Amino acid sequence: MWQRKSIFILLLSLLLTSFTFAQDTQELEAEQAANKKLKGESVLVNLMKTKNSSLKKELIGVHPRVFLTQSEIEGLKDKAKSQKELWQTALSRVRAMTIEPTPAPAQDRRVQNPVGLGIPEAALAYKVTGEKKYLQAAKKYMEAALSYDVWGYVYNKPDVDLAAGHLLYGLGWGYDLLYHDLTAAEREKYKAKLIRQARLLYDFYKPKSGKTYAYSQNHTFIPMTGLAVAAYALKGEVPEADNWAALPRAIYEGVLGTYSDDGFYYEGIEYWIFSTPWLVHYLDVQLHATGEDLFDAAPGLKLIHKYIAHATLPGAEFHFDYGDTYTGGLTRARKSEDYSRERIDGHFQSSYNVLYNLAKKYKNGEAQGVANWLKKKGQVSAEEMWTFIWYDSNVKSIPIEEQETTYYFKDHDVVFWRSSWEDDATAFSFKCGPSEGHAALEKQKKYPEWRLSSGHAHPDAGSFIIWANGEYLTGDSGYEGLTMTQSHNTLVFDGKGQNHEGEGHDIFYGIPYERINKIKIVDATLDENQVSILADVTAAYEPEIGVKKFTRKFEFKAPGSFTITDAVATNSPKIITSFLHADHKIDKISDNTFELEPNETSLLVEIIAPKTFETKVDANILTAPGKPGFVDKGGDEERGVKLAISTKEKVSQAEFVLKLMVKSEK
């Protein structure tokens, strides 16, 4: 009894002190609720019966088999000799050799995940080198996985969420790789844990009448990838494994079918880094275990390298932080917890190695070039063993310097421009599109069981980010627990912003996508010297706010001149406010002139219209993310400073014209 009481006290303490990001109560309720419009048997039942989830004949009764066979491992032994640098990097990053697994109950943020990633690292190192130290390290991590009675958080989706996906992947692949190196007793206890956890996950996700699936959201496809790996490891030994393999295959029909058409990732770069490897892991395991090639099922996968290249800021240390991406200026100041957490020995952990996989699969020299660029810049990946496996020296790289410096993601309506691929380049981005892309409207009809879960997207239509000479001059504020329009460079009306801001983490929840889809870039002209974008932001605001018209024209002329022109009309008079943000400081030069980030490189702002206005420079206070299941309940946090430019009195028509100029003494 005293042990249970001690554990309860410990967990309560963790609940009160941990600072963790996840869904909020609204999103969790939507996940559990049945859709009354979905009548009869779930479409997944038939998909589970008809889609391929059977092992290739030559793999039946064989171990290892999940991602690699023994003959393929022998090939890796040769590759370790020809690609010594990649192999030594992979060995140096076998975390089980240097990092002790977090002891149970392991309830801090994501601390169980590295155990799942670490098991196969050590196991594969052993299979390639034959050195027993790696075998013992793998077993240490496998024992840690067994010690966690609950995979994940005891207070939020226990055993069925992200940690469960990581640990099923790690223990499942580790069991497969080390099958002949384990004693019979070891195999049985690891198998028993896999069976228990796979059953729990399968029961949560199995098809039911009215059940919906957030196909495009990482909380769905990460657990399903883990379940698939465990299933293919246990096929032939556990009859239930047939269903465990069939369910992810059925769900991935929707995951791939709803994936981004243009390669832009709506959850933001932080979640791309965290979640995209799992998409590729599923495609790899499905191809290797069954022979079914699904890499062409989602055309946007072929454009991922465009997203990564252009979302990466010059210097490759930071990113255009649309969506839930780190902590804004706190991250860029290198002061926040997430800055050190996402770096290994000072190197940014970016999952860039996914591009090596896709470059190899699609014979894509551009993807290879982007990956080589990020590697040269010192970026690292969470699973360097995969960097070694995926890299193919036969893919001819197209250097980043030879790739286009402008790109328009037309499905999500996001534009990127940079003067060059050098570290001192000027770069900017403009965004005005629906949360999950225009194609999502038709995809919802094809996949009626798809439940959009856009909590990591922000109310940022019409916003922009500007960077020059290694400085973030104006832009977004990072990951928020309660996302607000005032954290972005766009407009609010009588203090009210876009979508359902302030009502929960997913501010798009309950809004008909037909209306969200009207948020759009009307026209965009880009070349190396100038950019002209016309966007219609009107539909981003709820009807009761009364915005009849809000169009924004965003113009740029090289080397660093911007003009932002807003035409606004409302149903009734309102105070209209336009925001600009800076990480550190905004100086007032005159009544209509301000300087953002006054330093060697700064952004001068001149207010041309309206003729009469009021301004206020204030700290940017937002709601930080809270603990799992209550992400919208974090406390207040100061991130940078904002300039508010408001009409002096309530008006029903207004024009805002701002001239911005990059000033540099470098």
> Which contacts (CB < 8 Å, 24+ apart) does range 437-442 have?
437/260, 437/261, 437/262, 437/264, 437/266, 437/411, 437/412, 438/410, 438/411, 438/412, 438/413, 438/517, 438/520, 439/261, 439/411, 440/258, 440/513, 440/517, 441/513, 441/514, 441/517
pLDDT band at 195 (very low <50, low <70, confident <90, very high): very high
- Phi (first) and psi of residue 551, to 5 degrees: -110, 145
Partnered with residue 661 across adjacent β-strands are: 561, 604
pLDDT tops 90 at residue 627: no
Nearest residue to 429 (alpha-carbon basis) of 398, 470, 460: 460
Rounded (5°) CA angle 594-598-603 = 55
pLDDT digits (tens, 9 = 90+) for 517-556: 999 999 999 999 999 999 999 999 999 999 999 999 999 9
- Asked whether 214 and 32 are in contact (CB, 8 A), the reply is no
- C-alpha 493/C-alpha 482 separation (Å) is 18
pLDDT digits (tens, 9 = 90+) for 71-116: 999 999 999 999 999 999 999 999 999 999 999 999 998 999 999 9
Burial class from Cβ neighbours inside 10 Å (0-12, 13-18, 19+) for residue 601 reads buried
Q: Name 3's Cβ contacts closer than 8 Å, sequence gap at least 6.
A: none
pLDDT tops 70 at residue 25: no
Helix axes 162-177, 132-147, angle to 10 degrees: 140
Separation of CA 600 from chain center: 33
pLDDT digits (tens, 9 = 90+) for 384-401: 999 999 999 999 999 999
In the chain, the largest separation of any two C-alpha atoms, in whole Å, equals: 81
Rounded (5°) CA angle 655-659-663 = 165
Order of strands, sheet of 651-664, starting from the edge strand that comes earlier in the sequence: 520-526, 530-536, 547-557, 561-574, 651-664, 601-609, 593-596, 586-590
User: What does 135-187 look like in DSSP terms, one character per residue?
Assistant: HHHHHHHHHHHHH-SSSSBTTBSTTSSHHHHHHHHHHHHHHHHTGGGS-HHHH
DSSP label at residue 213: B
| pLDDT the model gives residue 341 | 85
- C-alpha 11/C-alpha 544 separation (Å) is 43
pLDDT tops 60 at residue 13: no
Assess whether the previous peptide bond of 559 is cis (omega < 30° from 0): yes
Q: In the numeric block, which tokens belong to residue 103?
A: 């002891």
Nearest residue to 202 (alpha-carbon basis) of 163, 235, 255, 165: 165
- Phi (first) and psi of residue 297, to 5 degrees: -75, -20
- C-alpha 257/C-alpha 31 separation (Å) is 20
Tell me which H or E stretch contains 465.
Answer: strand 463-468
pLDDT tops 50 at residue 10: no
- Phi (first) and psi of residue 5, to 5 degrees: -65, -40
Q: What percent of the chain has pLDDT over 90?
A: 90
pLDDT band at 628 (very low <50, low <70, confident <90, very high): confident
- Minimum mean pLDDT among 33-47, 90-104, 200-214, 366-380: which range? 33-47
The residue length of the chain stands at 666
Separation of CA 257 from chain center: 18
- Asked whether 347 and 354 are in contact (CB, 8 A), the reply is no
- C-alpha 593/C-alpha 299 separation (Å) is 46
pLDDT digits (tens, 9 = 90+) for 452-480: 999 999 999 999 999 999 999 999 999 99
Residue 97 CB-half CA count within 13 A: 17
Whole-model pTM: value is 0.95
| pLDDT the model gives residue 266 | 97
Q: Is 518 helix (H, G, I), strand (E, B) or coil?
A: coil
pLDDT band at 32 (very low <50, low <70, confident <90, very high): confident
- Minimum mean pLDDT among 11-15, 219-223, 418-422, 504-508: which range? 11-15
Mean pLDDT, residues 305-310:
98
Partnered with residue 582 across adjacent β-strands are: 641
- C-alpha 544/C-alpha 115 separation (Å) is 49
Nearest residue to 630 (alpha-carbon basis) of 28, 213, 154: 28
- Minimum mean pLDDT among 197-201, 326-330, 335-339: which range? 335-339
- C-alpha 31/C-alpha 160 separation (Å) is 12
222: left (phi over 0), alpha (psi -120 to 50) or beta: alpha
DSSP label at residue 421: S
Q: Name 390's Cβ contacts closer than 8 Å, sequence gap at least 6.
A: 353, 354, 356, 357, 360
| pLDDT the model gives residue 346 | 87
Mean pLDDT, residues 644-653:
98
Burial class from Cβ neighbours inside 10 Å (0-12, 13-18, 19+) for residue 84 reads exposed
- C-alpha 211/C-alpha 34 separation (Å) is 5
